[in-house]
Structure 1
Amino acid sequence: MTWLCVTLGVAIGSALLPLISIEVFLLGLVTSHPGMSPWALGAVIAVGQISGKMLYFLAARGSLKLPNFLHRKRDPDAEVSPRRALWLAKTARVRGWLSRLRDRCHRHPQWMIGTHAVSSLVGIPPFMATTVLAGLADMSITAFVTTGVIGRFIRFTVLAASPALFAGWMHLHHH
């Protein structure tokens, strides 16, 4: 039970800070504790990951007020610095692409649900990116949680079972 609680904490942490790899943690855990249930680990990680990503989803949706230091303060009468003007010019294409993508997501919500589901399962496109995009596209919380938990549960249950499956396969083919 202690390891499941630790796993939940690492899963939440990895959802918030992408530098933490829940995959590496999970493989290390199941290798050193082979008796752990892949089903329980998959469920705990899925809940932890979606709980952590919920902050990004809600912030992108505008449902969560971000701290003031994260908001850019602009004086509408202030002159734009040359550096800022250059940055705006360089990022105009990306901003336009994101705007068109957001509009497409609003027109075709099933596309965003499918993309998020695939991302939660295989990690491509990156799960962090589809989490934020789902929030920007105003995906329903129910769809976000359902697709995310199911995909993450399958992904991490299979990953948790993989060392045992690999060891069993190696044992069969070694004899």
Structure 2
Amino acid sequence: MIAVLAASAVGLLSAFLPFTPAEPYLIAAVATTGTPPFALGLAAETVGKVLIFLGTRGAIHSPWLRRRLTRRPRPAPRPPGRLGTLLARPRAAGAGLVRLLDRPRQAAAMLLLSAAAGVPPLLAVSVYLARAPMHPLVFAATCFLGRAIRFVVIALAPRLAGY
């Protein structure tokens, strides 16, 4: 039970600080404690991503933030020069992912891929989808399924290796 709670804490930290991955902890916990890999895999990180999603969504709709963002009048933009026009063109790879995330069905598939494989980064997808019309329960369920797949496979690695 302590290993599962510790995996939850490490996963929550990992959700907010991407440079503290939960994967090494999961492998070490399964190899040293004998805790079922499924329990450890499910305990890690999903709660943190849902908090990021809901927090970002709340921040976007916050009246206080809207007042702060719209307080200052913006100066009229200058027409872009040649270099500005070239840089403003959407790049094929990035523009395609953004278009996919704007469609509900494709966004759910991209979220599942991101949660399971880590590509594109789940933190970025979570923040981006907070502005999309995705229901929070769909986000939570899809993220949970993808993270469960990822972390259970990672947690099973020591047993598959014979440890």
Q: TM-score range by the shorter chain?
A: 0.7 to 0.9
The one-character-per-residue Cα deviations of 1:16-41 (angstroms, maximum 9, x if unpaired) are 111211011112222222x1101111
Could you list the runs of 4 or more consecutive aligned residues of structure 1 that deviate by over 6 angstroms after TM superposition? 77-80
The 5 Å alignment of 1:26-37 reads 26-33=26-33, 35-37=34-36
SS in structure 2 at match of 1:113: helix
Alpha-carbon distance, 1:63 to partner: 5.6
> How far apart, in 2, do the equivalents of 1:66 and 1:13 lie?
29
* Pairing 1:25-174 to 2, within 5 Å after superposition: 25-33=25-33, 35-45=34-44, 49-62=45-58, 65=62, 75-76=72-73, 101=98, 105-106=101-102, 108-167=103-162
Structure with bigger helix share is: 1
Alignment CA distance shift 1:66-1:120 (3 Å): farther
SS at match of 2:153: helix
In the alignment, the residues of structure 1 paired with residue 132 and residue 157 of structure 2 have an alpha-carbon distance, to the nearest angstrom, of 35
Sequence identity (%): 31
**Distance in structure 2 (CA, Å) of the matches to 1:63 and 1:118:** 26
- Structure-2 residue corresponding to 1:5: 5
Q: What's the RMSD between the two structures over aligned residues?
A: 3.4
1:84 aligns with none
Letter in 2 for 1:24: P
What is the rounded CA distance, in whole Å, between the counterparts of 2:121 and 2:6 in structure 1? 24
Q: Residue 111 and residue 163 in structure 1: after superposition, are their counterparts in 2 closer, same or farther (change >3 A)?
A: same
AA partner of residue 28 (structure 1):
A
Q: CA deviation at 1:62?
A: 4.0
TM-score by length of 1: 0.71
Q: CA deviation at 1:155?
A: 1.1
Partner-residue secondary structure (3-state), 2:50: helix
Q: CA deviation at 1:72?
A: 5.8
Report the equivalent of 2:81. Answer: none
CA distance in 1, matches of 2:132, 2:142: 15
Give the drift of 1:119.
Answer: 1.0
TM-score, with structure 2 as normaliser:
0.75
